[in-house]
Structure 1
Amino acid sequence: MAGLRIQQLTVGPLEENCYLLADSESAQAVLVDPGDEPDRLLAAVADTGCALTGIWLTHGHFDHVGGVAGVVRATKVPILAHPADHLFHAGAADQAARWGLVVENPPPITQALAEGQTVTLGRFTFDVWHVPGHAPGHVAFIGHGLCISGDVLFAGSIGRTDLPLCDPSAMHQSLMRLATLEPATRVLPGHGVMTTIGREVASNPFLSGAARPIGA
């Protein structure tokens, strides 16, 4: 991954992980799940010396999209997301209000993602995997030894399956699919610390097959 810079920026009251990916050769950068604190995220992009070229979203829950409006207002970059999460995107402010929090609704999705597509940052290309369960339009970005997993897989745990439009059975299938990745694959989760597929297969009951999401 020479030339690919990865910075984890934990933002907002729910401590969501936004990832800044930057390609030093092309001087391009993307933000994955800018959930809050857009000014801080924009400053981090500026520090790389790269130009922001897009926003990639794993899913539309408010803690993952709350900073999108501020970033787009400043940069006019496209928003890439799966259309099955449209209701979450459109209702992010209402979602947050139910938690007593305030975020802006993001602008509309400008590029629809789907299973089998790829997304590109300079020289680096990532596969789009549709991994529903936590959210109907949840995707993961897979490539270059990385799995940007959003809220499907965490270190030692998984995302919730008791929220509106969750599907525990789909979540189980998504987890079993992620378990097929190479053990050395680094997992960049939406919350918490980085891990690897091998570590999770060995110790996470939801990836080892010892447990299933409630209702699956």
Structure 2
Amino acid sequence: MSELRVQQLTVGPLEENCWLLADPASRRAVLVDPGDEADRLLAAVDASGCVLDAIWLTHCHFDHVGGIAGVVRARPVPIHRHIADTPFYEAAADNAARWGIRLDNPPPATHDVMEGGSMQLGEHRFDIWHVPGHAPGHVAFVGHGLCISGDVLFAGSIGRTDLPLCDPRAMQTSLLRLATLPPETRVLPGHGVTTTIGQELASNPFLRGAARPIGA
């Protein structure tokens, strides 16, 4: 199988991680959670030598979707998200404004993702895991030794469960599920540095069960 190239692009005032996945063999690429700085993200795609194929979203909080409008104006590609996060997606600009952040609302999503489905980039397939808790439509993309975890799991911590539509008990279930991944699985989070499932089982109290999400 061809090599998959992964690039971390930390963008916006909330320092959100957009992940660029590029497959040189097919010359196709995807952006996962383009949260801001659309011009910078497109420049990274161009530098990869690949053509942007799609946008994949782990969830639809404004800091993960704020760059979509700019990206799609330049490259009209499909947008994939879980339908349960539609309220966040459609109100992204209003939600950002409450934090004093201005962004353009993203255009309508074109495809729904769901538990048991998969996403394809060239020969590379990623399974879709529905992992709600931080957001009702939160998903992780799992494959090729990677878990693109969004805001469910961070290095040493987890996503908030005290925001609108959070579900602490669902978050606990999602964390227990992620803990079943092989220890060597590399975690690509929505904020902060990369880690592995093994590292988090050894050091993250939420993943090893020593602590529970707020409200669980």
* Divergent runs of 4+, >2 A: none
Give distance in 2, aligned partners of 1:89 and 1:27.
29
For 1:26, the equivalent position in structure 2 comes to 26
For 2:154, the equivalent position in structure 1 comes to 154
Give distance in 2, aligned partners of 1:29 and 1:171.
30
Question: Does the alignment pair 1:200 with 2:164?
Answer: no
For 1:49, the equivalent position in structure 2 comes to 49
Give distance in 2, aligned partners of 1:59 and 1:108.
14
For 2:180, the equivalent position in structure 1 comes to 180
Using the size of structure 1 for normalisation, the TM-score is 0.99
What is the aligned residue count? Answer: 216
Secondary structure of 1:208's match? coil
State the identity as a percent: 74
Whether contact under 8 Å (2:2, 2:123) holds in the other structure is no
What is the one-letter code of the residue matched to 2:51?
A
For 1:115, the equivalent position in structure 2 comes to 115
Q: Where in structure 1 are there 5+ consecutive unaligned residues?
A: none
What is the one-letter code of the residue matched to 1:101?
I
Give distance in 2, aligned partners of 1:66 and 1:214.
27
For 2:166, the equivalent position in structure 1 comes to 166
Whether contact under 8 Å (2:2, 2:24) holds in the other structure is no
For 1:38, the equivalent position in structure 2 comes to 38
Using the size of structure 2 for normalisation, the TM-score is 0.99
Whether contact under 8 Å (2:131, 2:174) holds in the other structure is yes
1:2-53 deviation digits (Å, cap 9, x = unpaired): 5110000000000000000000100000000000000000000000110000
For 2:125, the equivalent position in structure 1 comes to 125
Secondary structure of 1:19's match? strand
Give distance in 1, aligned partners of 2:164 and 2:103.
19
Secondary structure of 1:132's match? coil
Secondary structure of 1:107's match? coil
Whether contact under 8 Å (2:2, 2:25) holds in the other structure is no
1:188-214 deviation digits (Å, cap 9, x = unpaired): 000000000000011100000001101
For 1:97, the equivalent position in structure 2 comes to 97
Give distance in 2, aligned partners of 1:41 and 1:52.
10
Give distance in 1, aligned partners of 2:192 and 2:170.
23
Secondary structure of 1:205's match? coil
Give distance in 2, aligned partners of 1:114 and 1:47.
31
Give distance in 2, aligned partners of 1:83 and 1:19.
21
Deviation at 1:103, TM superposition (A): 1.0
What is the one-letter code of the residue matched to 1:54?
A
What is the one-letter code of the residue matched to 1:83?
I
Give distance in 2, aligned partners of 1:110 and 1:161.
28
For 2:5, the equivalent position in structure 1 comes to 5
Q: Where in structure 2 are there 5+ consecutive unaligned residues?
A: none
What is the one-letter code of the residue matched to 1:89?
Y
What is the one-letter code of the residue matched to 1:99?
W
Give distance in 2, aligned partners of 1:112 and 1:4.
24
Secondary structure of 1:17's match? strand
Give distance in 2, aligned partners of 1:90 and 1:133.
19
Deviation at 1:147, TM superposition (A): 0.2
Whether contact under 8 Å (2:2, 2:23) holds in the other structure is no
Give distance in 2, aligned partners of 1:106 and 1:123.
29
